[in-house]
Amino acid sequence: MDRRLPRVGQEAKDTMQVLDQVLKTGAAGARPILRQYQLVERVRRYNPHTDEALLNRAYVYAMKAHGAQRRASGAPYFSHPLEVAAILTDLKLDDATIVAALLHDTIEDTKATRAEIAKKFGKDIGTLVEGLTKIKKLDLVSKRAEQAENLRKLLLAIADDVRVLLVKLADRLHNMRTLEWMPEDTRNRIAEETLDIYAPLAGRMGMHDMREELEDLSFRQLTPEAYRSIETRLATVRERNKHLIEEIEGELTGALAAKRIRARVRGREKKPYSIWKKMERKAIGFEQLSDIFGFRVVVGSIEECYRAVGVVHTRWPVVPGKFKDYISTPKQNDYRSIHTTIVGPGRQRVELQIRTRAMEDVAEYGIAAHALYKDSDSTPTEMLSRDSGAYAWLRHTIELLSEGSSPEEFLEHTKLELFHDQVFCFTPKGRLIALPRKATPIDFAYAIHTDVGNNAVGCKINGKVAPLVSELATGDEVEIIRGQGQTPPAAWESIVVSGKARAAIRRATRLAVRAQYTGLGRKMIERAFVRAGKPISDERMLAALSRLARASLEDVYASVGRGEMKADDVVKAVHPDWRGEHSAPAKAPRGEGWFNLSRAASLKFRIPGFGGGDEPEAPIPIRGINSDLPVRFAPKGGAVPGDRIVGILTAGEGIIIYPIQSPALKEFDDEPERWLDVRWDVDEETPQRYPSQILVIASNAPGTLAQIAQVISDHAGNIDNIRMSRRSPDFTELTIDVEVYDLKHLNAIIAQLRTKAVVSSAERVNG
């Protein structure tokens, strides 16, 4: 019996007949479909203990399930899961992952079910296939919110079992290899998605060869002219330097052998996309690139890595600043190697990567290099959580799910983590901290611990006091100076570059705003109980939580502070017999408990519901993060006494006052928690002007501006600014920032402007 034949008896013979029929109607010129015995042999090469029967059953099941289905190219659809499985055999993955690759489209595209797959192939494989089915439904290039939510689901699926990601990456790689059969708009969408998400994700998982191929395939689709140009130049350089590459390989091998270091030296050229990005990043031409070719030097041990560096640096001049030791300080994705650049044979710059065979495996296969197919009581994900820095990065990214308040924030944080290169800095005690390039001491502080970042007030870099906004470099020693009771300024969010820091700063800002609401609500409730003449205590409040439909006292206070619940409703919940009668309020000096909108205008307003009579009650201050909460007018149109007004609580800006008719308020319709009901309290004895804006369309004639200015002056208005725009040869549009005493004053000015012959129209601007 031929050992190549699958050992599944009559079923295998039936399968081969079906396969022969499928192949007869395949696409012309298509790659020969991978036979059953060929797949088994590919797995057996690296895993002699493979479960051949399991692989054969999966092959047969998938082929029958897909039946006569076709791909866009006309090839049998079954060829796709087979090619995905073949890619994963190159990564030397376990049987369950290979089987999941064979079955990954069955639930979505055939009559197969999760229950049936779990019954035939086991619960583990059933779970993997279900996870892949969910990911297949994602469309990562879509509206930003949808893209963010889908990426969130993708990473959560990966968190359950990292093998889901490995199959998905192989699936994407084969789809990119056959992209030419898809419609043009679909090709661009898939290529963009690959370049934005999947290629960086492969890189972060340490799978550099896969990342480079995904990038190049996307680059060829999205910018074909640039790709062809670089390919043409590369071919010329390759032909011109063919003998030089062989010479360098031979000379390096000989120099190392002379020092009894057995090494495999192999030349390798940069990929077109990598060349394009470097040209773009450094704004240089192709001819100015000096590292198109690099050489990998693979030796037997870590000791030989450093001995090889000594041999190379002794024999050839070193290019300053081009030495990096990723063996002593590995990258987050487990990559380890020594990089150095020398002026080598032929006076050519030669970039060398010196590593062991084990490091070479990690550099090629990344997270897949961990021996997932070996016998172990632990799950593959548990093994990776112990052994893989790349998986540690993934876990850290998943943690951001709880930090971001929206899918868009999560997308932003994740892309920051995906695309940044790294710098390595140290704490005073020698702890190594890996950070994105251009990171600041603020990023460093949050990388140590969220509390360290929140309390940071200063720093020392290499022993010298430095600004917190300084850019860190590899090798810096950073000491964070902390203060008690500090809260990070919202402005830090625009300074930091790491996703963790941004998420923590936003979260601290949200907590500070909630604390603000809570403090405000507590005082409002206390005043309501005083007005009602009813006793208040935490015990009574706790007993009423169910009637208030809140989980905690803090939720009650915050709800009242945000205006979601009335303070009187809290009194009724605690004292159901109370009917709203008020006792005489305690009086306070006029002006306390009122909020100053601006130092210039000295406008005061109060939260309604605090007056039991004509006099205001005792003060209820709103506190900001570090000081009194700032209050200002809306940027367009402002507000003047006589307008009904509303306050919008804005993180980092305080309270912004809008007139109730402002169209800008539509932006906050879905955020009722930010609305504050406010009232004017104008002191008639000391009248002051307030900002407003008028839009005037007037004739383009001499003296027009003078007439308009005269009207405003005659009515005691004050012009703060005028912007003019010519809309036609005959008319000019004037936007006038004017300060007036109140709404009546403003309307009088507008009415008088309309009487002027040179004025076509005059309207108030409501920003």
Show which residues are catalytic. Answer: 108-109
- Phi then psi dihedrals of residue 434, to 5 deg: -90, 130
Q: Which residues of 19-48 are buried (b: 16+ CB within 10 A; e: fewer)?
A: beebeeebeeeeeebbbbbebbebbeeebe
Helices 242-258 and 302-315: crossing angle, nearest 10°? 110
Q: Which residues, 6+ apart, have CB-to-CB distance to 247 below 8 Å?
A: 345, 346
Q: Rounded CA gap, 270 and 296, in Å?
A: 12
The DSSP result for 356-402, as a single string, is EHHHHHHHHHGGGGS-TTS--SS-HHHHHHHH-HHHHHHHHHHHGGG
Distance from chain centroid for Cα 265:
39
Angstrom CA distances, 563 to 397, 521, 538, 541, 584, stand at: 36, 9, 21, 18, 24
Which DSSP state fits 641?
Answer: B
Interatomic CA distance for residues 559 and 266, integer angstroms: 67
Sort strands 631-633 and 654-659 into parallel, antiparallel or unpaired.
parallel
- 621/607 Cα distance (integer angstroms): 10
Write down the H helix ranges in 483-544: 499-532, 538-543
Task: Name, in order, each residue with C-beta under 8 angstroms of 362's C-beta and a sequence gap of 6 or more.
Answer: 206, 334, 335, 336, 369
Closest by CA to 173, choosing from 87, 286, 56, 100, is 87
Token pair listed for 432:
């190594």
Start-to-end CA distance of the chain, whole Å, equals: 85
Helix (H, G, I), strand (E, B) or coil at 621: coil
Q: Give the residue among 257, 263, 293, 301 at the shortest CA–CA distance from 275.
A: 293
Q: CB–CB of 128/161 below 8 Å?
A: yes
Q: Hey, what are 152's tokens?
A: 């969130």
